Amino acid sequence: MEPADLGLGDSSLHRYLDGEFWSLKNELRGLLGGCPLFRPRYDLSLDEMRTLTFQRVTFTMGLPLLKRAIQDQVEKTRNFVSRSLVIGEVLSMADMATGVKCGIIYWLFGGAIRSLGGPAHVTQWLQPLQEQKYTGMFAMTERGHGSNVRVIQTEATFDFSAQEFVIDTPCKNAEKMYIGNAMYGNYAAVFAQLIINGRSQGPHCFIVPVRDENGSLYPGVTVVDMMHKEGLHGVDNGILRFDSVRIPRENLLDKFGSVGPDGQYHSPIKDKSARFNAMLAALTPSRLAVTFQAMGSMKLGLTIAIRYSHSRRQFGPKAREEVKIIEHQTQTLRLMPHLATALALTFASRYAGTLLDEDIFRGKELVDSRPLQALVAGLKAYSTWENVSCLQDCRECTGGMGYMMENQISGLKCDTDVFVTFEGDNVVMLQVVVRELLAQYTKQCEERPVSSLLRNWVESGSDRLRTSFLAFNMDTVGHLTFLLKAVHFRERILQRGLVARIYYKVMTEKEDFFSAWNSCLHHITCLSLAHIHRVTLEQFCLAVRNCPDQEDQDLLKQRLAPKRYLLHLCNSVKDDALRVISAFNISHASLHAPIAGFANPNAAWVLYPAPQHSLAGERARSPRPKLGAKL
């Protein structure tokens, strides 16, 4: 479809928000927008929905643009991560279940092969994904172990004489659970304890055939359908059980641990636990993909809620003079901060993507980029929680209309709710962040104990001055630099407090580490969120400073509101909000909520007028409070 028909734009702001790969995004929007398969359906049974999703996935993975993306992953072409991330974002906005299923195939199955396998595996298993000869799944979680996957119980026992691994599910708790694409997929990347001569080398990943091309299960494999979920009805999740399933020795993805024909185990990493960490780290990009999907969902929800709020009228100074609901202070106050967060996350997650690309391009193992892993873990938790709360507010702010499926918001809510859980439970992710922060802290102190302590002291000294009551006048508080310092300060205070508490508990009180850590969990989650807020804010500030167009910059700058001005600012930005959401550049094919002013043939009953939003109106800005922000 033509960009114009889909309502796509390419103004400077559109391009800045879409980022470097804006034209790739537009291309995909055009391709999906023209495909009738993506028309929304709410009337299908579970089976029908899965069949439709299968067709959508097949169509999508068949696009040359997607084949190219797989080839890029094969070749580790420069920036392939960032490009795949934006593809995932656009796709999720067309249909979340399709986005998730493609993610399973591309990021989880494909990503496991690329990052845990050797070149031969890539040629054998990843490359052919382009031709859709088969599809894959990713089988890590077990009934007994979701967050704590280190102790999964599936076994891969090496049979020397046959030169094969025997995959087994020794007990009920070892069943692979929730596995996406379990009802369709042909191969699974299965994590199992690698056992040689009765001794486990820890979890490794194996390619296990599950179904032949006709869809018949191979002997020894059992699959149970997990059926109905809150959302993502198009994604088929199931349970996998293995009963002496034999696979060739070569099916071990052996980058971090291999078994020779002689049955000897080799690994570049001696420590079992460190080895598994390296594997998990290599899977980091797929975690960031969830953040991009969550952002897509926030942008969609906000676009619908803000457009409706600019057209729906209710109450007013006189009975017949009702105001647009966006004029009610609470309405603005509920929606504008989410819009700011969506923008901030756009830049922070893009930044993380760039870092990942750099590392991978330079051949650096991700396990050696611990701060980056922590960043991605933190962004995953922050963005998916923000998405839940954003969509909830969008739902509520659109009144009864928001509860109707045709208006998209509640469907999105159900589909994305699980984001806080899968790809790493958020509470566990926050602990990953803090573990890294503490490691950094300890390292700093060890390397240059005196100077670093001194620096910390000096820094906190100056912070204290600025936050003292004396310095607390409006101008200073209004400064963005002050805000940045404040979030920095909060993070440091929390960090130092935590270190002191854990140190005291472990060293002085002789508590075991597990219980000391556990009794600080609340502190830990606060620190973790403080950290990720700070990083996100910094990236947002940088992005605003680097924005090439002055007018766009002004528009973005307003979203950087210190809390003090919140009421005032929310009010002043609400009109410009229409311009910002339009620069999200969402294809009209993905926006079919009648309340946002888009005709939906399935729900003619509910069409609302589009918000009045002429270009002239767009430019006529409302007066802004002087922020005096120094960027």
- Binding status of residue 411 toward a second copy by CB under 8 A: yes
The Cα–Cα gap between 613 and 627 comes to 26
Q: How far is the CB of 63 from ligand FAD (least distance, A)?
A: 23
The one segment of 21-29, 221-229, 344-352, 584-592 that binds a second copy by CB under 8 A: 221-229
Cβ neighbours of 435 (radius 10 Å): 17
- Binding status of residue 610 toward a second copy by CB under 8 A: no
261 touches, from a second copy, ligand FAD, none (C-beta below 5 to 8 Å by class): none
- Give 410 or 539: the residue with its C-beta nearer to a second copy: 410
Locate tokens 């700093």: which residue? Answer: 444
Q: What is the DSSP letter of 237?
A: E
Closest residue to ligand FAD using C-beta atoms: 146
- Give 8 or 570: the residue with its C-beta nearer to ligand FAD: 570
Which among 39, 26, 91 is positioned nearest to 61, based on CA atoms? 91
The Cα–Cα gap between 161 and 158 comes to 9
Q: How far is the CB of 159 from a second copy (least distance, A)?
A: 26
180 touches, from a second copy, ligand FAD, none (C-beta below 5 to 8 Å by class): ligand FAD
- Give 58 or 519: the residue with its C-beta nearer to ligand FAD: 519
- Binding status of residue 438 toward a second copy by CB under 8 A: no
Would you say 540 and 521 are in contact if contact means Cβ atoms under 8 Å apart? no
Locate tokens 């209309």: which residue? Answer: 401
Site string for a second copy, 238-257 (x = CB under 8 A): -x------------------
- Give 90 or 430: the residue with its C-beta nearer to ligand FAD: 430
Q: Is 96 helix (H, G, I), strand (E, B) or coil?
A: helix
Classify residue 79 as left (phi > 0), alpha (psi -120 to 50) or beta.
left
The Cα–Cα gap between 9 and 336 comes to 23
Which contacts (CB < 8 Å, 24+ apart) does range 458-464 have?
A: 459/492, 460/489, 460/492, 460/493, 463/488, 463/489, 463/492
For 37-58, the DSSP string reads GGS---S--HHHHHHHHHHHHH
- Binding status of residue 276 toward a second copy by CB under 8 A: no
Would you say 146 and 136 are in contact if contact means Cβ atoms under 8 Å apart? no
Site string for a second copy, 326-345 (x = CB under 8 A): -xxxxx-x------------
Locate tokens 């996998």: which residue? Answer: 240
Question: Which residues of the shown chain bind ligand FAD in the complex (CB under 6 A)?
Answer: 104, 138-141, 146-147, 178-180, 229, 232, 237, 312, 314-315, 325, 328, 330-331, 396-397, 399-401, 403, 418, 421-422, 425, 427-428
Which among 162, 185, 183, 169 is positioned nearest to 247, based on CA atoms? 162
Q: How far is the CB of 565 from a second copy (least distance, A)?
A: 13
- Give 147 or 612: the residue with its C-beta nearer to a second copy: 147
Would you say 214 and 234 are in contact if contact means Cβ atoms under 8 Å apart? no
Q: What is the largest CA-CA distance in the chain?
A: 88
Query: How many residues touch a second copy (CB under 8 A)?
Result: 69
285: its two tokens = 């990009």
333 touches, from a second copy, ligand FAD, none (C-beta below 5 to 8 Å by class): a second copy
Residue 105: CB partners within 8 Å, gap ≥ 6? 57, 61, 129, 135, 136, 181
Q: How far is the CB of 411 from a second copy (least distance, A)?
A: 7
Looking at 42, 160, 472, 503, which residue binds a second copy (CB under 8 A)? 42
Would you say 184 and 268 are in contact if contact means Cβ atoms under 8 Å apart? no
Q: How far is the CB of 309 from ligand FAD (least distance, A)?
A: 7
- Give 159 or 512: the residue with its C-beta nearer to a second copy: 512
The one segment of 40-48, 71-79, 291-299, 442-450 that binds a second copy by CB under 8 A: 40-48
- Binding status of residue 519 toward a second copy by CB under 8 A: yes
245: its two tokens = 């399933």
- Binding status of residue 539 toward a second copy by CB under 8 A: no
Would you say 132 and 139 are in contact if contact means Cβ atoms under 8 Å apart? no
For 276-308, the DSSP string reads HHHHHHHTHHHHHHHHHHHHHHHHHHHHHHHHH
The one segment of 72-80, 106-114, 336-344, 415-423 that binds a second copy by CB under 8 A: 415-423
622 touches, from ligand FAD, a second copy, none (C-beta below 5 to 8 Å by class): none
- Give 22 or 385: the residue with its C-beta nearer to a second copy: 385
The one segment of 324-332, 345-353, 459-467, 493-501 that binds a second copy by CB under 8 A: 324-332
Q: Is 192 helix (H, G, I), strand (E, B) or coil?
A: strand
Q: Which residues bind a second copy (CB under 8 A)?
A: 42-43, 45-46, 141, 145-148, 150-151, 177-178, 224, 226-230, 239, 314-317, 319-320, 322, 327-331, 333, 388, 392, 395-396, 399-400, 402-406, 410-411, 413-414, 417-418, 420-422, 425-427, 512, 514-515, 518-522, 525, 567, 603, 605-606
